[in-house]
Amino acid sequence: MKDYILFDFDGTVFDTAEGITKCVQYALDKMGIEAELSELMCFAGPPLTEMFSLKYGMSESEAERATELYRERYRPIGWMECKPFDGMHDLLLKLRADGKKLAVATSKPTHLAQLILEHYNMTADFDLICGSEFDGTRGQKWEVIEYVLQRFGISPDEAIMVGDRKYDVLGAKKCGLDCIGVRFGYAEPNELEEHGAVYIAETADDLYNYLSV
């Protein structure tokens, strides 16, 4: 198995759906759009501007405005409406003990991922924490993955991605990495299989067993 493991954040390391969906609902309400929380799970994981455009047909400027409104609630409140998935902290500690190098590779702004990890005393679980930036830098998952590889100074064949959505699989493929999917995240039925995940882990223990082979 690979010595460098890249982890998506939302839906993979942390269950952040509550905070994300409530903040999306808040932003939509400010723009005069009504939506139930159950309709907004698709926002958990992908770049926000992309999803506002895809789901609601927003222009680029409208999607950027919606994202600003989302952050209006997320920064003071939404980031705390989350928790690590069962067994994830122990999984990361065991992988570190095995000598693996671990990185967060997320579409979420780096600062927010760091904030959540610090809140749960999990910052030391990772060698690198990499995401997008508020100015739009590294807005696509493949750009984050490429940046992690550069920061580690490694080639794609030395690493593997772990994620819960097609964006993780496709971003990894674009960078030359395989991707392991996790069933406990936010993917639609068969989403991970259809886009080429090399394995689907049912639990954190299942994921460790695959990664430690």
Catalytic positions, written as ranges: 8
Structure tokens at 200: 């689907």
What is the identity of the amino acid at 168? D
Residues ≥6 apart with Cβ < 8 Å to 213? 1
CB 102 within 8 A of CB 5: yes
Q: 112: part of which helix (H) or strand (E)?
A: helix 110-119
Element (H, E) at 204: helix 204-211
C-beta of residue 11 within 8 angstroms of C-beta of residue 164:
yes
Name residues whose C-beta falls within 8 Å of residue 132's C-beta, 6 or more positions apart in sequence.
47, 106, 107, 108, 109, 110, 138, 139, 144
Please check whether residue 43 is in contact with residue 63, taking contact to mean a CB–CB distance below 8 angstroms: no
Q: Three-class SS string for 26-89? A: HHHHHCCCCCCHHHHHHHCCCCHHHHHHHHHCCCHHHHHHHHHHHHHHHCCCHHHCCEECCCHH
